[in-house]
Amino acid sequence: MMRFKIVSDSSADLTAFSAVPFASVPLKITTSEAEFVDNAELDVSDMIGRLEKYSGRSGSACPNVNDWLDAFADAENIFCVTITSGLSGSYNSACIAANEYLQAHPERHVYVIDTLSTGPESAILIEKLGQLILAGKSFDEIVAEVKRYQNTTHLIFALESLHNLANNGRVNRVVGKITGLLGIRIVGKASLQGTLEITNKVRGAEKTLAEILKNMEQTGYNGGKVRIHHCENRTSAESLCNRLLQKFPKAEIIISTTRALCSFYAERGGLLVGYEGACKKGEA
């Protein structure tokens, strides 16, 4: 396999990926009292509980250039997957790392993918990369195919609080104030620019699921792959899964939990849904 490697930041919520060599580079959640490194050793539920009890400032930090270079290690063909450049500096530091790596090793290859998304949509892209590598495709073929594929993958989210997003300047403060009201959920999607695009606000778990399903079908979901990442909300994740299976019995759906970065921003109750749908722009 010509020493292929997939290197992702921890926003994809994958601590491990068994198909091919893989490394996850952690983002960090910081408060004035603690630093939570988003790696496999971290107890995410414990972090969520501690952050809820803490009332001071909290924020996040993306990987730096050396973090990325360490993860590239001595691979020859690297696919590097980052959280959206619309909300984080992770893509930028990965690109700098890639340039340095290629200067030191001109015969090797690095392709940095700006997911313009996070969580389950990133996970779907990583799964695709894994399949293409295992299928024995060349580096250039994989780049072309994953670009086409990325035009068909989507992210929808439902959040009970925008507190941490607003406090860290990732959504407008006025929008941030909408939540915190009992039972109100914000439903939205990753925009084409990789920012939060709020599509609706709804009240109650049932209306939230209906809104997610409506958005999925409007963006061409038709029974393909779905990845649901939840923050301490298995019940809603399973309801969504069941509703999808009623309509699309052959859908391949996997539920998993958000790691630290997505948990910090999606907050307790948050649902992130990555799926295959129609082309986002132009033709595939």
Decide: 76 and 104 in contact? Cβ < 8 Å.
no
The owner of tokens 């988003």 is 38
Considering only residues 117, 150, 161, 236, which one is a binding residue for ligand X90 as defined by CB under 6 A? 117
Residue 80 touching ligand X90 (CB under 6 A): no
Total residues contacting ligand X90 by CB under 6 A comes to 23
CB of 156 to ligand X90, least distance (A): 9
Q: CB-wise, 90 or 179, nearer to ligand X90?
A: 90
Q: Alpha-carbon distance 266 to 232, whole Å?
A: 10
**CA-angle at 117, arms to 13 and 46, nearest 5°:** 30
Between the alpha carbon of residue 151 and those of residues 59, 94, 207, 258, the distances in Å are: 31, 21, 28, 23
Stretch that binds ligand X90, among 37-45, 81-89, 208-216, 243-251 (CB under 6 A): 81-89
Residue 118 touching ligand X90 (CB under 6 A): yes
Give, as ranges, the residues between 182 and 211 that touch ligand X90 (CB under 6 A). 190, 194-196
Give, as ranges, the residues between 10 and 49 that touch ligand X90 (CB under 6 A). 27
Considering only residues 84, 161, 215, 236, which one is a binding residue for ligand X90 as defined by CB under 6 A? 84
Give me the phi and psi of 242, to 5 degrees please: -65, -40
Residue 82 touching ligand X90 (CB under 6 A): no
Residue 215 touching ligand X90 (CB under 6 A): no
What one-character-per-residue DSSP string does 126-173 give?
Answer: HHHHHHHHHTT--HHHHHHHHHHHHTTEEEEEEES--HHHHHTTSS-H
User: Could you list the residues that contact ligand X90 (CB under 6 A)?
Assistant: 27, 60-62, 83-84, 87-90, 117-118, 155, 157, 170, 190, 194-196, 262, 265-266, 272
